[in-house]
Homo-oligomer: A and B are copies of this chain.
Amino acid sequence: MGKRAILAGAGALPGLLLDAGPARVVRFQGVDCAVTGDAIEARFEQLGGLFDALRAEDVTELCLAGAMSRSGFDPAALDAVTMGLVPRLMAAQGQGDDALLRTIVAILEEQGFTIRAAHDIRPDLLAGRGAMAGAAQPEDDADAARARAVLAALGPLDVGQAAVAAKGQMLGIETLQGTDAMLRFVAETRRGSGGVLVKRAKPGQDLRVDMPAIGPRTVELAAKAGLSGIEVQAGSVLLLDKAAVLAACAETGVALWGAP
């Protein structure tokens, strides 16, 4: 049986996956990555070299973990394999981040690698169903339903993993800048307090490589925004990591629950 490699991006997830068992780490030049130590150093311009290195080490299973912000791309550094892929990647990029990710996954599979989901390696990080911390306020149900309705309407357009509603009014709808930026906006602009953050997967999202997640920072920002609770989609949102998220809930008094 072949080995596993973690294509490591930002945040806590790559480290949490390494805790689950032995794996090689792939770090890309220019990508923010918290995992230190021994790793295969790679460049987006030289995927041919990366594929060779992975095969040389008998890696058959890849797990994409953590956000990889687009960094500069140097056409002069392209190897032959990557050069052949550029037209496909550029066409996909023009259709948005999800399309680009789908194309990258397709390319990795064509190269013979198996894509392994992070929550398959660490199922204990998945949000469960029902109360996980504290208790929802009576008025939270209606706000959560309102935010879910907004996300459901936007899902087919591939927009919105998260939204904030309070007293029946929408206070924030996630855009490209992400959940944290939305919560900071709500904290800076809202009046009053109360309300719910809802975070869910989009209908077309490939959960093997792009799983919605919340961390302790999300909980802290929700508290700063005056929210009383966070609802996540059970089985489709990662808690990074669960202990830290629950501790942040206990400290801030923000309730956390999973909904179908």
Contact residues of A with B, CB < 8 Å? Answer: 94-97, 149-150, 153-154, 156-157, 159-160, 164, 168-173, 175-177, 181, 185, 189-190
Closest 5 CB pairs of A and B: A173-B173, A177-B189, A170-B175, A169-B176, A153-B153
A177 smallest CB distance to B (angstroms): 4
Which of B96, B150, B164 touches A154 (beta carbons < 8 Å)? B150
A12 smallest CB distance to B (angstroms): 22
User: Taking chain A's interface residues, is the majority helix, strand, or loop, or is none over half, making it mixed?
Assistant: mixed
CA distance in complex: A149, B153 (Å): 11
Which of B94, B149, B173 touches A175 (beta carbons < 8 Å)? B173
A173 neighbours in B (Cβ, 8 Å): 159-160, 173, 175
B177 pairs with A190, CB closer than 8 A:
yes
A190 neighbours in B (Cβ, 8 Å): 176-177
CA distance in complex: A95, B95 (Å): 38
Select from chain B the residue with minimum beta-carbon distance to A180.
Answer: B189
CA distance in complex: A157, B147 (Å): 10
A94 neighbours in B (Cβ, 8 Å): 168
Given A157-B149, A185-B185, decide whether A175 and B171 contact each other with a Cβ distance below 8 A.
yes
16 residue pairs of the A-B complex, CB under 8 angstroms, read: A95-B168, A96-B168, A150-B154, A150-B157, A153-B154, A153-B157, A154-B154, A159-B170, A169-B175, A169-B176, A170-B175, A171-B176, A171-B177, A176-B190, A177-B185, A185-B189
A204 smallest CB distance to B (angstroms): 15
CA distance in complex: A214, B199 (Å): 32
A96 smallest CB distance to B (angstroms): 6
CA distance in complex: A175, B185 (Å): 11
A197 smallest CB distance to B (angstroms): 13
A164 neighbours in B (Cβ, 8 Å): 175
A150 neighbours in B (Cβ, 8 Å): 154, 157, 159
Given contact pairs A153-B154, A172-B175, A176-B190, enumerate 18 new A-B contacts (beta carbons under 8 Å). A94-B168, A95-B168, A96-B169, A97-B169, A149-B157, A159-B170, A159-B173, A160-B170, A160-B173, A164-B175, A170-B175, A171-B176, A171-B177, A173-B173, A173-B175, A177-B189, A181-B185, A185-B189
